Structure 1
Amino acid sequence: MSRMTVISDTPNEKRLHIGDQHEIPETLGLLVRHDLIMFPLMIDQLQIDDQAVKNLIDAALAGDRLIGIIGVPRSKEESVAGVEFPHVGTAAMIHKMLKLPDGTVTILVQGVARVRFTEVVETEPFPSARVERLDTVLDDSVETKALAHNVASEFQRLISLVPQFPDDWKAVVQTMLARPDHLSDFVASNLNIEIEEKQELLETLSVSERLTKLTKRLNSELEVVELANKIQNQVQKEMNRNQREFYLRKQLETIRHELGEEDQHATETRELRERIEKANLPQHAREAAEREVERLSRMPTAAAEYSVSRTYVDWILSLPWSTTTEDNLEIRRAQNVLEADHYGLSMVKDRILEYLAVRKLKPDMKGPILCFVGPPGVGKTSLGQSIAHALGRNFVRMSLGGIHDEAEIRGHRRTYIGALPGRIIQGLRRAGSRNPLFMLDEVDKVGQDFRGDPSSALLEVLDPEQNVAF
């Protein structure tokens, strides 16, 4: 710990009897500090490392111990160059100076009176300025007393709400009711407000006007502090509830372990891993499922994302990744099925049989798209069912009429609550095989609005290069 040397001290009697009529000299050495507005009778401790300020302190201690203090915002230079004159500041008395071995100086100063610095008279060896004492205007009216009582009451409430304020300040405020000018300076110096507001209060000589401004500022500060405390209490209650749930779950886990029972969370994770082993998934799907199950094993079941991840894994495992139906490309049988299900439509039937014949000659051909056009009721949907029956494939009908959101086709993002895969994936799960016959019905009635354009998303569905891995 650094050893401090006491250089000078002012007797307690002198410190306690600094009054309103303390004589102020015509010129004072200037101490300009960032974000420091000192009010009369208030005491503050300052750290000094600038040589010019040390010269000022030495000269003050050799004389009447008085210096002038001016506060400036951090946006301005911390010197007389950053001050516009005339400027209202404070005459202060140095009570104590402490020197540290590293050369830093600490001073204990107390405000004496408001003063106006009119002009700079010297800059070397330290800046000094001509001063005029400013006396506060204090009337003994009922209004001023009422304002003082209101400010004292509001500030005492603020002391109760702010942990940084000592409780004994309430008694200090109560004793100052007899001197509203001292009360206003004490409250103004301890409020957490901008330096511009403090400077305005320092320049306000009327005590009643000063108390009025403090009343407005205290009301605003109380609203902010009370709301912050309310939010903090709500957060604390939520944290306590979460901690209690965590503690109880740990206890339940320990009890189950002692009874030889397996934890439900661990059971679900183990069952999911077993389903992945039996599902015969392709490599990319298997890696995705195992990654999600690993996340689930580390995630508490009460977490909001648990159900989202669990639903995602369930969808992966429910899809028919390796289940297919074998095509029956017997042309004669297909013709009999079409004739049995539909009367007429000879041109349409011939086109379908041509398609089946090409499929039989070139089995590795990517599935083309057949487009049926006609008025309602002529048998477009039933023709699709007949083709599926003839091929021996499962049939899935998906009506696109009135769809406005492309997510209905592609699927929703997992970040949304209640997100589901698109209708294509849902149809694959219902079909139970990976090569069903899809009938996209009423494709001409797809809607379009600010939510998206589903018809553009259909390109991904209909393009053979993309829909194989939709």
Structure 2
Amino acid sequence: MSKKARERLYMSDTHDIDESMGAVMPILMDCDKDEDFSEGMDKVGETLPILPLRNMVLFPGVAMPIFVGRPKSMRLIREASQRKILVGVVCQKDAEVEEPGLDDLYPIGTVAEVLRVLEMPDGSTTAILQGRKRMALHSLVDTEPYLNGAISLLDDQPAGKDDREYEALISTIKDLTIKMIEAAGDPPRELVFSIRNMQNTMYMLGFACCHIVANPDEKQELLAIGDVKNRAYRLLFILNREYQLIELKTSIQMKTHEDINKQQKEYFLQQQMKAIQEELGGNMNDIEIRELRAQAKKKKWPKEVGETFEKELAKLERIHPQSPDYSIQSQYVQTIVGLPWGTYSRDNFSLTHAQRVLDRDHYGMEKVKERIIEHLAVLKLKRDLRSPILCLYGPPGVGKTSLGRSVAEALGRKYVRVSLGGLHDEAEIRGHRRTYIGAMMGRILQNLQKAGTSNPVFVLDEVDKVGSDFKGDPASALLEVLDPEQNTTFHDNYLDIDYDLSKILFIATANNLNTISQPLLDRMELIEVSGYILEEKIEIAMRHLIPKQMEAHGITKGTVRFHRNTVRAIIDSYTRESGVRALEKKIAKIMRRLARKIASDEAVPAVLKVDHLREYLGPVEYTRDKYQDNRYAGVVTGLAWTAVGGEILFVESSLSRGKSAKLTITGNLGDVMKESAILALEYVHSHAAQLGIEESLFENWNVHIHVPEGAIPKDGPSAGITMVTSLVSTFTRRKVKSNLAMTGEITLRGKVLPVGGIKEKILAAKRAGIREIVLCEENRKDVEEINQTYVEGLTFHYVADIMQVIDTALLDEKVKD
């Protein structure tokens, strides 16, 4: 385009004004479609006057106004305008440099024509430059009266005439240019129209590079790209990034504006509501306080509680509703009025009903049921009794937790359960002080508030798993809760008023009493819930677990029936536990397989028998020891208690020649069993003559005592008489009586001591085919407590001395070697 071309000037704020040379406004010029702006380039020599610019880059075809401030630049502009000569325009790398040298200038610039020089009213000079062609600056040949440099012209590599991709690029650049101009303000419609209808793609590309891209370094990068199509791609990338940034800024501004509008709207609505409420006779605060007073009139609380409530409510009235303290005080007052002061549910004193509910929900547990019935009987007679603190302890899965719900139903009380497992903050029990942010009551009063009564059945689950750290010791905080002498005035830090917990029936559950502190144990009545025996597990499965799992898996009642022998096989071969949790899982697994078959229209057995278990549960997982014959001397059957029930184990002993007597003990035994083995050998040695054993055997023979299944740790005091019997049998070669087992500890004097776990041991012996059992005389009472149906077919030998054990267990017949 010639300098006589029509010019159209439009203002924009896309450039910062520099104090020496800078952009004032972009100029959009009308130009022909095919104009290449290189007119007069044949007159350009090897040197050219150089005009350094700050923070701006000129592109071929683009007209751009600049402020002229430096003396050398002023002289060059005026001389170029008068003499109609071209100048080389390059951008400075650092805008702060006043006298730039070659190293301070970018090597790529633009040959430009000075279209006009304007003297502004304030005394400043503005020049309008139009780029002609790209050039490379090689060196500066002169610095006075202005810069002169050695240059060479650079040719652009244009896109093809029918390159549709390039046309799409320019169209996209036009759209983004218009969007960015519109985002920056309200542009003249003529400017948007001119950009949209611009036919000269080179000029459109240069205009966007010059005026839309803000970063001078990126402008210089675009000017250095000789391939026009690549320049367009790079420009599009930059424009997309910048536009996304503009959209993000706009979005943030809109969100902030919307938040302010929302706050203003809420404020005006609150003011209107306040005015309406005042017309109706009071504001929301007055209404809330009237409601609290109405609720307080219905409470049966002590006089001191009522006085405290009125005092706190008066304090609430004095606090301004917009104050942060208002919500804290309001929450506290609502907490006081929300607690069930003096509200008690009526107990159901029917002992028959209580017994029926307990028997319906739990099979066995006779001691626990008896204790609950006793408590209900005393309560029925006295009508005013401090509830006891019961602690049910035993292995997992025996129904300790679920028993609490049944007790609540039997008594007609509300049921509350709190899990204390992993609790390590004292404030969880006693609450936080009101001075803390987010303070609240402890779990005890929180659950009473939910229950709505002051005498629920309160189950404290897993009390043995309470921890402690720098936040305090919750177990110590429980001392006040679980002490019948102290819990009449339980003090919660948040409530700060004494509360009576004495009417609550607390039931704590635990697996291991060793981890509970002694003071806490002393405050509870301990009731052992031992593991179930095989017969009890069968009954529980038939009455409760199978119907429950059939319903849970959508299997209609009567579709399939479990044979009792099948349940027995599941318990014996697929579970190893004291409770019934694993048994329920196995039954659920069977139900899933049955449900799949029923859903697939496959046939299912009407009665599930033992033969079907391999298909539904896979191979047998556990095998129990069976009694072995008495063909070998020194092999005696003992009885052991484990966490998963009773077991039989074999104690074996043998002799081998040696230079000096040595005792070897194997079988992964604990310290107590090792001591029993040493004690047994010493007893046999000291009574050798009485037992008919030659003294020389102890000097020239090594003794080896072994308990099979060495991978399983074994310990405990109940194998003493078994080891003595085994040693005597080995030394004398006398046979052990067939189908006989024993359990008991001995002293060095030969006295037999009682042991525990008798019920489980006897049932294990019966399952293994044992017919006679040797026990300590003091264990007779334990046998008498067992249901007689479980001990039918067994003969018991009660002994007080080890000699009685030997006379009972060993035969006069000797083993043939």
TM-score scaled by length of structure 2:
0.36
2:165 maps to 1:146: no
Out of 115, 121, 129, the residue aligned to residue 149 of structure 2 is: 129
- Judge conservation of contact 2:93–2:106 (CA < 8 Å) in 1: no
Q: Tell me how far 1:186 sits from its aligned partner.
A: 1.3
Unaligned runs of at least 5 residues, structure 1 = 1-9, 300-307, 321-340, 342-371, 378-396, 431-439, 448-453
Partner of 1:189: 210
Question: Residue type matched to 2:421 in 1?
Answer: G
1:242 is displaced (CA, Å) by 4.5
Amino acid at match of 1:28: P
Tell me: CA distance 1:461–1:78, structure 2 relative to 1, closer, same or farther (3 Å). Answer: farther
Residue 215, structure 1, aligned to residue 236, structure 2 = yes
What's the CA shift for 1:193? 4.3
CA contact (8 A) 1:86 1:119 kept: no
Structure 1 partner of 2:282: 262
Deviations 1:367-392 (A, max 9, x none): xxxxx9x9949xxxxxxxxxxxxxxx
**C-alpha distance in structure 1 between counterparts of 2:461 and 2:110, whole Å:** 85
For residues 211 and 129 of structure 1, do their structure 2 counterparts lie closer, same or farther at Cα, with a shift above 3 Å needed?
Answer: same
What residue in structure 1 maps to residue 781 of structure 2? none
Which residue in 1 is equivalent to 2:456? none
Identify the residue that residue 297 of structure 1 maps to in structure 2.
322
1:456 to 462, 470, 473: 470
CA shift, 1:145, in A, is: 2.9
Equivalent of residue 22 in structure 1, options 27, 37, 40: 40
Residue 192 (structure 2) aligns with:
170
Q: 1:118 to 1:205 in 2, by over 3 A?
A: same
Counterpart position of 1:437 = none
Shift of 1:120: 1.5
1:88 Cα deviation from its structure 2 partner: 0.7
User: Following TM superposition, by how much is the alpha carbon of 1:118 offset from its aligned partner in structure 2, in angstroms?
Assistant: 1.4
Supply the distance in 1 between the matched residues of 2:135 and 2:244 (Cα, whole angstroms). 34
RMSD: 5.5
Residue of structure 1 equivalent to 2:421: 402
Contact 2:67/2:127 (<8 A) preserved: yes
5 Å-filtered alignment, 1:308-319, equals: 310-311=327-328, 313-315=330-332
Change (3 A) 1:38 1:265: farther
Residue 115 of structure 1 corresponds to 135
CA contact (8 A) 2:433 2:493 kept: no
Q: Is the 1:86–1:116 Cα contact (8 Å) retained in structure 2?
A: no
Deviation at 1:209, TM superposition (A): 1.9
Q: 1:47 to 1:76 in 2, by over 3 A?
A: closer
- Code of the residue aligned with 1:111 in structure 2: it is G
CA contact (8 A) 2:48 2:87 kept: no
Q: Superposition pairs for residues 297-376 of structure 1, below 5 Å? A: 297=322, 310-311=327-328, 313-315=330-332, 376=393
Q: Deviations over 1:232-285 (max 9, x none)?
A: 55555555454444444433444445x36333257558999xx9xx9769x9x9
The answer to whether the 8 Å contact 1:28/1:131 transfers is: no
Unaligned runs of at least 5 residues, structure 2: 8-28, 297-305, 338-370, 372-388, 395-415, 451-459, 478-490, 495-817
Cα distance change, pair 139–376 in 1 and its aligned pair in 2 (3 A): closer
CA deviation vs aligned residue, 1:278-300 (integer Å, no higher than 9, x gap)? 9769x9x99x9799x44x4268x
Q: 2: CA distance between counterparts of 1:200 and 1:194?
A: 10
Q: Which has the higher contact order (CA 8 A, sep 6+)?
A: 1
Contact between 2:120 and 2:126, CA under 8 Å: does it hold in 1?
A: yes
Q: How many residues align?
A: 364
Identify which range, 419-428 or 129-138, moves more after superposition: 419-428
Amino acid at match of 2:220: Q
1:28, CA displacement in angstroms? Answer: 1.5
In structure 2, C-alpha distance between the alignment counterparts of 1:425 and 1:66, rounded to whole Å: 91
One-letter amino acid matched to 2:420: G
Contact 1:289–1:313 (CA<8 Å) still a contact in 2? yes
| In structure 2, distance between residues paired with 1:197 and 1:109 | 21
| Distance in 2 (alpha carbons) for counterparts of 1:260 and 1:14 | 74
Residue 196 of structure 1 aligns with an amino acid whose one-letter code is: D
Q: CA deviation at 1:462?
A: 6.8
Mapped pair 1:44 → 2:64: yes
The DSSP-based 3-state class of the residue aligned with 1:208 is helix
Query: Match of 1:214, as an amino acid?
Result: L
The one-character-per-residue Cα deviations of 1:284-323 (angstroms, maximum 9, x if unpaired) are x99x9799x44x4268xxxxxxxx9615542278569xxx
Give, in whole Å, the separation in 2 of the partners of 1:159 and 1:313: 55
Looking at secondary structure, tell me which structure has more helix per residue: 1
- Whole-angstrom CA distance in 1 between matches of 2:275 and 2:57: 60
Largest Rg, 1 or 2:
2
